[in-house]
């Protein structure tokens, strides 16, 4: 399974690498770390943003 990067909005927090399965299993712990959370898949050019008000957005970067 592809590794994903977890990034929080606090610049002093480390970027954590994990699998989608582990992130889903521990989503409450992932979300509580920061105000906003981004889950990034560099290989597939996809990003998931978990906004502090509960909104979840998915972005796809199309390479040309």
1-53 per-position pLDDT tens digit: 579 999 999 999 999 999 999 999 999 999 999 999 999 998 889 999 999 88
pLDDT 10s digits, 37-50: 999 998 889 999 99
Residue 44's SS3 state is: coil
What is the DSSP track for 4-19? EEEEES-TTSPPEEEE
């Amino acid at each position: 399974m592809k590794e994903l990067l977890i990034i929080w909005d606090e610049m002093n927090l480390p970027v954590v690498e994990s699998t989608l399965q582990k992130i889903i299993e521990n989503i409450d712990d992932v979300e509580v770390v920061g105000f906003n959370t981004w889950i990034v898949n560099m290989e597939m050019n996809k990003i998931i943003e978990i906004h502090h008000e509960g909104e979840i957005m998915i972005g796809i970067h199309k390479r040309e």
